Structures are given as C-alpha cells and as structure tokens.
Amino acid sequence: MTGDQSQPSSRPTTVVERITALSAGDLNDLCDAAEAAIIDGGGFGWLTPPPRETLEAYWRGTLLIPERDLFVGRLDGVIAGSCQLHRPPRNNEAQSFACQFTTSFVAPWARGHGLARDLTQIAENHARDLGFGVMNLDVRETQRAAIRLYEALGFEKFGEHPYYARTRDGNIRGLYYFKNLSIPATEPGPS
C-alpha cells in the first residue's frame, strides 16, 4: 500500500436527496443551516431567524404539502442546505407544465463544495422526471452568487421587480428566471 492510499481524503462528501420525512437530527440540522443562511442574508424571505419552534413548524409543514418536494444537501452527512420544487395546484391546468424552484439556500459554512449547483440540478432533473417543461425561479438582486449559478445553468432572465423585497438596506429588486426543460413547441390555435 502506498502512502497516498493510506491517507484519508480531506475532501468532504456531498449528497443531495429528496426527503419525505425528517428525523429529529435532520430537523435540527436543517434549522441550524437555515438560521445560518438567514443571518448571512440568504434566508429565503426571513431577515432574522424566527423562533426555533416556528422554523421547525415550517419544515414539518413543507413536508405535508402535496405540491412541494423538499431536497436537502448534506456535507459529511449533515444537512447544510435545501431547496424546494413547487408544483402548480391541480386546478391550474393552464400552467400545469411549469414548476417553481424556490427557497434555495446553503449555510455559509458549507459553501464552496458545489451543494448549490447540485441542489439546483437535482431539482431540475426531478422536474423533468415529473414531466415539467419549464422551471421558474426568482431571486433578490443581492444574491450575486446564486444569479451567476442560475445563469451558468442556462436559466434565462425575463423580468425584474423594483420592489421585490425590503431589507434593512431598503428596497431590493427581484430578478425572474425560467429554464426550458424541453417543453415541446405547439402550433398556435386557430385565429
């Protein structure tokens, strides 16, 4: 055995998975990661971490909504980020071909290992597997790393909202993106 084979790898292990239940440990890890992301300014809407019981109820509730799929990213087995895929309600037949990628975050201590990219790509593949032709997302203009990632992954910006969010720094623009997941072109109907 050479010296290289006997030394443990210093590269952390990353895994992204869709989950349908949360153990007590996973719920704790998810809340810890969300709190860290919120404090860092990437808290999918929250400006300050809510009480722990509110955050726990949010994640438990997410798993109860039939139109939502929750994905988590693990770094060395610890949940360090997540995202959701929202499917349109059944009564929205006109938009049944499109889903929404949302609430994506990675805790600051876990960034730089590709989890954000992996979360986005796993959710995109899942959307394709479900038969969706379009995936939409929106993001604050201040989330520059996320914007670079989404654009690198082929998302196209189609709009802006000047009053998308309000933070301690004032109003923040929102940017709207979509990605064609191979939706078939259709002929326009008769005029």
Question: Which CATH code for domain 16-180?
Answer: 3.40.630.30
State yes or no: pLDDT of 171 exceeds 90.
Answer: yes
Higher pLDDT, 77 or 41: 77
Chain segment 110-157, per-residue pLDDT in tens: 999 999 999 999 999 999 999 999 999 999 999 999 999 999 999 999
State yes or no: pLDDT of 185 exceeds 60.
Answer: no
pLDDT attached to residue 191: 40
**Distance of alpha carbon 50 from its chain centroid, rounded?**
19
Chain segment 151-170, per-residue pLDDT in tens: 999 999 999 999 999 988 89
Backbone angles phi and psi of 94, in degrees to 5: -65, -25
Chain segment 15-29, per-residue pLDDT in tens: 999 999 999 999 999
Chain segment 66-102, per-residue pLDDT in tens: 999 999 999 999 999 999 999 999 899 999 999 999 9
The arithmetic mean of pLDDT across residues 171-178, rounded, is 96
Sorting pLDDT into bands at 50, 70 and 90, what band is 45?
A: confident
Closest CA relative to residue 85, chosen from 13, 186, 181? 181
Write b or e for each residue in 95-111: b if 16 or more Cβ atoms lie within 10 A of its Cβ, otherwise e. Answer: eeebbbbbbbbbbeebb
The arithmetic mean of pLDDT across residues 37-59, rounded, is 90
